Structures are given as C-alpha cells and as structure tokens.
Amino acid sequence: MKRQRVLKCAVSVLLALALVLTANVTALTSYAAVNIAQDIKTIADVPADLSGKTIILHSNDVHGAIGRYAYIASVRDNFVRRGAEVILVDAGDFSQGTPYVSTTKGLDAITSMNAAGYDIATLGNHEFDYGYAQLRGNLAVAKFKVICADVLDANGNTIVPANTMYTTKSGMKIGFFGMETPETQTKTNPALIQGLKFLSKGELYTCAQAQVDELKGQGADLVICLSHLGVDDESAPDGHRSVDLYAKTKGIDLMIDGHSHTVMTAEKKLPPVTSTGTKIQTIGVVVLDNATKSFEDSYLLSLDGLEKDVVTDAVTTAIIKRVDKEYGVTFAKSEVALNGEKAPGNRTEETNLGDLITDAMLWTVLKNSGSVSVDPSHVVAITNGGGIRAAIKAGDVTKNDVNTVLPFGNTVAVVYVTGDELLEALEASTYCTPDAIGGYPQTSGIKFTLDTKKSFAKGAAYPNSTYYKPASINRVTIDSINGQPFSRTDTYAVVTNNFCAAGGDTYYAFSAASAQFDTGIPLDEALIDYVVNELHGTIGSKYAAPRGDQTIK
C-alpha cells in the first residue's frame, strides 16, 4: 500500500428503506445513500502518548493471509508501550482463503491467531466451510473467546457464547456480541451444517437487541457488535447488512464489520460501522477514552512502515514454509491470464477461468465410460462463480495457485435433473444479474441467453435459504446443449460441485434432483488432472477469452 497520511473520501452504497420487498427483487426503488468514510493513517501519525486510552485493534476477512498477523501483533505491542490498553478482535472469515489455512481445514488459522494474541472473535460464513464438527474441533484449541448470537443448534442454543463482557484495567466495561450473516446457510454446503439454524430478517434484529439489552443490564459502558454481515448490495433486499442491523436496533455504540471486504471507518456523523477490507490490507483502530468511557476515534492503519512481531512471525513462517514445500512446485504453464475477478467477472458473466474449471469437471466425469446413465450429449457442467476465489496469472502454475482459486475442498458431484429443473437453477442463479451474485453459473456444454431487461418473477422462498424459486422462467433461454436442441422434459446429468449439489447458493433445484452421486474427487485435483493430462501441461489460446456460451442482453 502506498504511503498516505489522512485520506478522507466518500463513496455511496445503497441502504434499503423498506424491508418488505415487492414480488420483483429488481423493482426495488426505495433507497437512501449512506456515506462510507475512510481514514487511513500510518504509524507515524499515531500520538506518542496513548495513556488513558483503550484501543481496540480489529481485523476481518483475513482469508488465510497468516503472514500478516505479525503486523497486527507488533502494533498491539507498540500501542501498549505508548501507554494504551489494547484489545485485539476479529470479525470472521479467518479459516479459508489460502492453502496456509485450508490444508488443515482452518486449524492453522487458529494457531496463527493464538500466536498473535487475539482476545475475541466472531464467526464468518467461511468458518463453516469444512463442516460444523471441524469448526468445533478448531475452536477447542482457540485461546481467544469466540462469540456469536444468531447461530443455534438443534436444541435452540447458541453454538458458542452469544456475548462477552470485557472489563478494562481502568474499570470501563465493554460488552461484545457477535452476529453471523444469515447467508451462511446458502454460502456453505448445506450437508455440512445440518441441524444448525441461522437467524434471519426480523429474528436477526430481535436477537441483536436482546444482546444489547443484556449487556447494558450487566452495566456495559459501551456495546460493540462484531458483525460478519457486510454492506454488499446483494445483501440489501433481505436487510442482512450491518447498516440494516444498526438501523433496526438501539444501543449499539459501534459495529466492527466483515463479509463484504469493505474498507471503511466509523464516524460519529455516519452509521458507526468500521471494516478493514480483506487479508489485513489495513489494521482497524478504535480509540476509547477511559475517563469519559466513550468512543473517541476510528481509523485504519496502513502496513506501511510497520515491523513484524518476532514470535508471531516465527509461527506463521513455519506454517508457510511447510505448505510451500508441498504446494509450491510448478506442474504446468499458462500462456494466458485467467480471470479471477468477482465483478465484472465470475459472479456476473462467463469467464475464461470459469470455462477452464467447468471443462475440467466435465472431462473428469466423461473420461470414464459409463460413469453417467445418460448419453454424453446430455451431460453438462455448472459451478458457482462465487467458488472461484482468485486469478491465475500467465506463467508457471503451481498447486498453490489452483488451491487458492478453489480453496473449499469441494468435490465433483453429478445431479440428474429435468430440463425444467435446469432452467430453474439458471433462472434462480441469475436473478439479479448484472449485479453480482455468488451463485452465478459458470458452465460447460450449455449455451444460454440471459435477458436482464426482463424482471425476475420471485416465487416462494427456498427452504432454509435467503434465495427464491422463480415463479416463472422469464430471463433465461437455453439455446442448446452440447450443440443439440434443448428439451424441458429430457433428463440431463449436471456435473457440479458437492456444495451446489446439496443446494448451496441458488441451487436448491439440484438438492431436490431425482438422483445424484458424489465422485469424491476434489475439485482442485480435477482441474490439475485436466491441465496435466488433457492439456498436456499448457493452458493455451483456447482459454485466452471466454468461449461465448453465454449471451447477456
């Protein structure tokens, strides 16, 4: 990050005024603008004397960038030397994102956070990527408190404590509670979170208010929400953003936010929401005054000029070296750059990387004769664009690169659907296009046209989902399947990932399919196998650009 002193800028995001939607999601017109402030400083801008201050350092959406924990640990020690009491917190999504944490299914993230000395964290949606059982095992070794109020087990109890009270040395009582995005129920493989309930809509606000009231009742001077909710526009229709929660509750003094990877600081004239971006691109700083027991300042600290804490760095470097030894070996070359962007990119349109991945999925299943019960002309592939997490640059390609693109450990699965069910899945997964959506279909074997000028006909909500069944097929037309006419009554084998096969994202139609099976082949290994054996180790001009299977009007 370039050196910068105080940067003030404002950008706009849309805040829905009405939480009750019309039948057509795209017809929402009642919005108000909320300014997002950014105040980014360097360590040189921080006062030399921080006596009489309590400082909350915060991170969010670290996504496996464990080498940067040493920076936040060094800032904590620096501020303590200047006289401050420091509390270190995180707003979720620390378990996934790079092989440095995904190879141990999130456990090395906990190891790194322990070394950095975190005090409190809440859960992000990606904490559930490896299943609830794995999450519980990971959290068992955490030396910091993990709080979350809106995820319940089968008995109606929170899966971790809902809140905690932190009493500073000066006697100030700070109440923290955690809030997880309800979108977890569709952004995580449903098969891995069976029995859990994620509160949504009105329940979310009631739950948050109950936490505020409880903490205030215990004498909290300040109440802080560690929220993994974000401010993404795609979360606005259901009122699941941090700014929506703040507007619908009373008594929250500050929200330390995650999920949308937004860079923003809290200011008294704006909704008090702060977030550091992602991968510790900045370090969040909240200054509290001990004498008045009040919020004083909020800013983000650039990594420019910072040193690393030696102890934390030793722990994370050992993890990085271990993983690099296994994953850093070059296995192929790419003659082209493969698009890993979200929007415009894999969540809004066909991409060359989406083509490569779905081609690999299709090849993986079809290379074994008799692996599917329909004619090969009726076999296609779909993967959700939100599952593609990074780009692949032109040049050497390593296993590390592929695992970073596909970090979830998903396996290749096959579902059998009718043409009508395939249309439903495509319509539901493009309901808000051209706006970004994680379920956007990257495909192989399907040519389709999407008319964004037509409205999405919102039907009933899918079970345990924030998405809706299309009441009719208005926007998507399937032009052909593997060059042959499409039939709404024919049965098609869709090669997908086990997340979508279980109804993840917008793919409930797949979970309700007449039959399905899981190959057990990890998606990243399928891609590596395809590149090595079918492309002979070279990703060439065939993937220089999207092949043009999707037409968006």
Count CB-CB contacts under 10 A for residue 85: 19
User: Is the pLDDT higher at 150 or at 410?
Assistant: 150
78 pLDDT higher than 50: yes
Q: What is the largest CA-CA distance in the chain?
A: 75
Q: pLDDT value at position 4? A: 31
CB atoms within 10 A of CB 529: 16
Q: Are 346 and 354 in contact (CB under 8 A)?
A: yes
Cβ atoms of 284 and 275 within 8 Å: the answer is: yes
Both tokens assigned to 101: 């944490």
- Domain 10-322 identical in fold to domain 328-552: no
Mean pLDDT of all residues in 76-97 = 96
Short-list 551, 125, 546, 548, CA closest to 345: 546
Q: How much is the mean pLDDT over the chain?
A: 90
Q: Name the nearest CA neighbour of 447 among 341, 348, 546.
A: 546
Boundaries of every domain in the chain: 10-322, 328-552
Give the containing element (helix H, strand E) for 115: helix 107-116
CATH of 10-322 given 2.60.40.10, 3.90.1010.10, 3.40.50.720, 3.60.21.10: 3.60.21.10
Asked if 90 contacts 122 with a C-beta cutoff of 8 angstroms, the reply is: yes
DSSP alpha helix (H) spans, 480-520? 498-501, 508-511
| Both structure tokens of 363 | 């090849």
| DSSP secondary structure of 401-412 | HHHHHSTT--EE
The burial of 188, by beta-carbon neighbours within 10 Å (0-12 exposed, 13-18 middle, 19 or more buried), is given as buried
**Does residue 241 sit in helix, strand or coil?**
coil
End-to-end CA distance of the chain: 38
User: Distance (Å, rounded) from C-alpha 187 to C-alpha 400?
Assistant: 23
The CATH number of 328-552 is: 3.90.780.10
Single out the residue of 222, 181, 188 nearest to residue 204, CA to CA.
Answer: 181
Beta bridge partners, 372, equal none
Q: Are 269 and 37 in contact (CB under 8 A)?
A: no
* pLDDT of the residue at 445: 98
Strand partners for 450? 476, 552
pLDDT, tens digit (0-9, with 9 covering 90-100), for 194-224:
899 999 988 999 999 999 999 999 999 999 9
pLDDT of residue 277: 94
Instruction: Report the alpha-carbon distance of residue 416 to residue 433 in Å, rounded.
Output: 26
What does the pLDDT look like over 12-56, one tens digit per residue?
A: 333 332 222 222 222 222 223 345 778 899 999 999 999 999 999
User: The tokens of 502 are what?
Assistant: 């279980």
Question: Distance between CA 249 and CA 94 in Å, rounded?
Answer: 27
The pLDDT of residue 35: 53
Q: Which two tokens stand for residue 314?
A: 């030793």
In 142-293, DSSP assigns E strands to 145-147, 151-152, 163-167, 173-180, 197-198, 222-228, 254-257, 263-264, 273-276, 282-289
Instruction: Write the pLDDT tens digit of every residue in 489-535.
Output: 999 999 999 999 999 899 999 998 888 888 878 899 899 999 999 99
